[in-house]
Structure 1
Amino acid sequence: MKKLLLFFLLLSLACTSDDPEIEILGEWQLVEVLADPGDGSGKFKSVDSNKRITFFED
């Protein structure tokens, strides 16, 4: 029983959330689009565009 308790204690200490948060905040410019006919064989194609999108914190 002590070994099982020790195992779960060590397991809970080993499980931490050290993953960095990936943020997409800021301004992004469209540079490629995915042209996919619906069967999964799509390819990314470059675009000549000045379109931008801004992601805010709220």
Structure 2
Amino acid sequence: MIRRAQEDGMGDHKQHAIKRRELEWLLRDYGVSRSLRLGVAQALSPESLDKLLRQLKRRSIFSLS
């Protein structure tokens, strides 16, 4: 999804918004409350958000196997 946003020429702000939504979805799968999901997603810098997304995606892949 993020690669598609980069190819379409979206600005950094829109890419960051897409990543925040993706983080919210992943945290929802972990059972995190809505208010906490929104707070965490909004508080993180773009670099921290990227790092956390990579870590959560890696864990979700391993939990499927």
TM-score normalized with structure 1 length: 0.29
Q: Which has the higher helix share?
A: 2
Task: Return the TM-score normalized by structure 2.
Answer: 0.26
